[in-house]
């Protein structure tokens, strides 16, 4: 089969289209014929091997798993022993550890769900990681409730565009922070207010928020706390930071500081699974949540898609057709 692989760490040019062996299904797994995938920040981390601490998990000198890609939408090709929920031919979507930039990928049954019926494969593939992150960050990390004020920093990105919609669905009043060129996009997704970060610094404004979802990490903890209510919650969801430890020092400082202040500074446990995908399918099929896609690339041009993601500040999501 064809797949996008990497044999060394690097930038987008480390990715190449090659022929590799078709994955072998194991007990409790589903073999998916991939129809579409999508780009996430995690793919950039895997490809570059940065922050360097990530290589403890990925492989010190080169990636152990050479096929990239985490989001997938496609059709069930085969099911392993003990898989009873899904049948051959079912249209599904899933979040895998790696391997979705390929003709076929295996996924644990516990990570696969029926895809939303009203979405194309390209749209469905944009959902799993980003929408699940937004859902868990707001519902579990922020414990967002109807009537609260929430600010989404980085509202026009993959996670951000889903977060705006999910926050609105939870009944919150949503303020989106993004560039002026993305203002119409986030308003169309349900933002009540939009702040152009080039013109205004939300941490210096008069408005206070019950929940801030920070997808960027471009403000100090002290500055972010200024924009919170006295008992508000800052949820850290960005994967950026220094070249060695990435966001880890900031997360540790937040958790430590949270013990001594009235505000909650926290991250959240990111756990892929069928239950999240089932809930997201309900939100999507009801019309409450709609994926926003900037561009679509064929599998052979995945390196170009990743380059565009990293260098050109893509709006929302980038899909890969297979």
The C-alpha atoms of residue 94 and residue 118 are separated, in whole angstroms, by: 16
Distances (CA, A) of 185 to 33, 194, 281: 32, 10, 22
The C-alpha atoms of residue 189 and residue 144 are separated, in whole angstroms, by: 18
Give the count of alpha carbons within 13 A of 104, CB side only: 16
130 by Cβ neighbours in 10 Å (0-12 / 13-18 / 19+) ranks as buried
| Of 58-67, 178-187, 262-271, the least confident | 262-271
**pLDDT in the model for residue 239:** 76
What percentage of the chain has pLDDT greater than the value 90?
Answer: 96
**pLDDT in the model for residue 203:** 97
**pLDDT in the model for residue 80:** 96
Q: What is the average per-residue pLDDT within 185-193? A: 98
279 by Cβ neighbours in 10 Å (0-12 / 13-18 / 19+) ranks as middle
**pLDDT in the model for residue 184:** 97
DSSP state of 246: B
- For the stretch 284-299, pLDDT in tens is 999 999 999 999 999 9
Q: Are 200 and 238 in contact (CB under 8 A)?
A: no
**pLDDT in the model for residue 109:** 96
Residue 47 above 90 pLDDT?
A: yes
Q: What is the average per-residue pLDDT within 165-174? A: 98
Domains of the chain, CATH where assigned: 2-127+291-321 (3.90.180.10), 130-266 (3.40.50.720)
- For the stretch 215-268, pLDDT in tens is 999 999 999 999 999 999 999 998 788 999 999 999 999 999 999 999 999 998
Residue 181 above 80 pLDDT?
A: yes
User: Residue 162's pLDDT band (boundaries 50, 70, 90)?
Assistant: very high
The C-alpha atoms of residue 75 and residue 262 are separated, in whole angstroms, by: 49
Q: Are 134 and 159 in contact (CB under 8 A)?
A: yes
**pLDDT in the model for residue 314:** 83
Q: Are 319 and 298 in contact (CB under 8 A)?
A: no
DSSP state of 64: S
Q: What is the mean pLDDT of the chain?
A: 96
């Amino acid at each position: 089969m064809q797949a996008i692989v990497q044999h060394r760490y690097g930038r987008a040019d480390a990715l190449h289209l090659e022929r590799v062996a078709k994955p072998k299904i194991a007990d409790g797994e589903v073999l998916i014929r991939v129809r579409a995938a999508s780009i996430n920040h995690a793919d950039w981390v895997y490809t570059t091997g940065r922050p360097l601490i990530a290589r403890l998990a990925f492989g010190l000198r080169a990636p152990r798993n050479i096929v990239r890609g985490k989001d997938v939408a496609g059709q069930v090709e085969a099911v392993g022993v003990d898989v009873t929920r899904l049948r051959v031919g079912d249209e599904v979507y899933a979040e895998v550890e790696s391997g979705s930039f390929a003709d076929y990928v295996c996924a644990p049954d516990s990570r696969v769900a029926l895809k939303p019926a009203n979405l194309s494969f390209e749209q469905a593939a944009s959902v799993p990681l980003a929408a699940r992150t937004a859902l868990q960050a707001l519902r579990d990390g922020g414990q967002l409730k109807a009537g609260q004020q929430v600010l989404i920093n980085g509202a026009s990105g993959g996670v951000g565009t889903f977060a705006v919609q999910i926050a609105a669905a939870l009944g919150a009043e949503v303020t989106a922070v993004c560039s002026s060129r993305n203002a119409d996009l986030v308003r169309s997704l349900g933002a009540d207010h939009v702040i152009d970060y080039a013109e205004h610094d939300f941490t210096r404004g008069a408005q206070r928020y019950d929940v801030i979802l920070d997808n960027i990490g471009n403000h100090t903890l002290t500055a972010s706390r200024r924009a919170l209510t006295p008992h508000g919650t800052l949820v850290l969801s960005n994967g950026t930071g220094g070249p060695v430890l990435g966001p880890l020092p900031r997360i540790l400082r937040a958790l430590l500081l949270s013990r001594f202040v009235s505000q909650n500074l926290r991250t959240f446990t990111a756990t892929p699974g069928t239950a999240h995908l089932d809930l997201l399918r309900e939100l999507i099929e009801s019309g409450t949540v709609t994926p926003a896609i900037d561009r679509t690339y064929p599998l052979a041009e995945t390196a170009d898609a990743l380059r565009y993601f990293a260098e050109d500040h893509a709006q929302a999501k980038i899909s890969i057709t297979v």
